[in-house]
Amino acid sequence: MSTGVELRNIVKRYGTFTAIDNVSLSIRDNEFFALLGPSGCGKTTLLRTLAGFEMPQEGTVLVGGQDVTHTRPRNRPLNLMFQSYALFPHMSVERNVAYGLEMEKLPRDEIRSRVAEVLASAQLTQFANRKPDQLSGGQRQRVAIARALVMKPEIVICDEPTSALDVSVQSQILNLLGDLRREFGLTYLFISHD
């Protein structure tokens, strides 16, 4: 299935305030697309529009060539993952990553093997039994990535996932995202103010 995304002439207003003023962009399959802009310029609003949590006043949202502008978020042929730490503090790394699969009631063996694969890819195997507060910021961010990837999304939307991290850790996370893109054939929309 094609997962390319196209936004055409999107206008989003809140009352008289225009948050997005006629923005068009297209993201190809397997592309790492970076959206850069200062705080408050409308990045999060644009991704919420793509995901269907905001309705634009003007413009069209296409996914895989299909017009989804008026489609509910959960019915869009997209699998979006919003990245934030927001880990469950009382659960181990392994349980945090397994959580979404458990909600889908997948067989235990499949859950165990998918979690193990993703933890290995994110270099987290040795931390599987730790709780989030026993990890560094960069390690916590890797858990958030692993938790997104284990769901096998086609498109991963990362809204400023590295902005709270040191520059050196940021570049490690970016390298990891690049490796995982090749390994899992993902498309990214990566948002940053920096």
45 binds ligand ADP (CB under 6 A): yes
> Contact 93/130 with Cβ under 8 angstroms?
yes
**Closer residue to ligand ADP in complex, CB, 122/191:** 191
192 binds Mg ion (CB under 5 A): no
Q: How far apart are CA 178 and CA 181, in angstroms?
A: 5
44 binds Mg ion (CB under 5 A): yes
Residue selected from 36, 40, 89, 102 as contacting ligand ADP according to rule CB under 6 A: 40
39 binds ligand ADP (CB under 6 A): yes
> Contact 132/143 with Cβ under 8 angstroms?
yes
Residue selected from 44, 69, 79, 123 as contacting ligand ADP according to rule CB under 6 A: 44
* Shortest distance (Å) from residue 172 CB to ligand ADP: 24
Q: How many CB atoms lie within 10 A of CB 68?
A: 20
**Closer residue to Mg ion in complex, CB, 98/189:** 189
* Shortest distance (Å) from residue 14 CB to ligand ADP: 3
* Shortest distance (Å) from residue 194 CB to ligand ADP: 12
**Closer residue to Mg ion in complex, CB, 19/93:** 19
34 binds ligand ADP (CB under 6 A): no
- The number of CA neighbours under 13 Å toward the Cβ of 182 is 5
Q: How far apart are CA 120 and CA 146, in angstroms?
A: 9
Residue selected from 43, 114, 142, 147 as contacting ligand ADP according to rule CB under 6 A: 43
Which run of H or E residues covers position 103?
helix 93-103
**Residue of this chain nearest to Mg ion (CB atom):** 44
Dihedral sign for Cα 54, 55, 58, 61, please: positive
Dihedral sign for Cα 133, 138, 143, 144, please: positive
69 binds Mg ion (CB under 5 A): no
Q: How far apart are CA 51 and CA 163, in angstroms?
A: 22
* Shortest distance (Å) from residue 159 CB to Mg ion: 6
Contact residues toward Mg ion (CB under 5 A) are 43-44
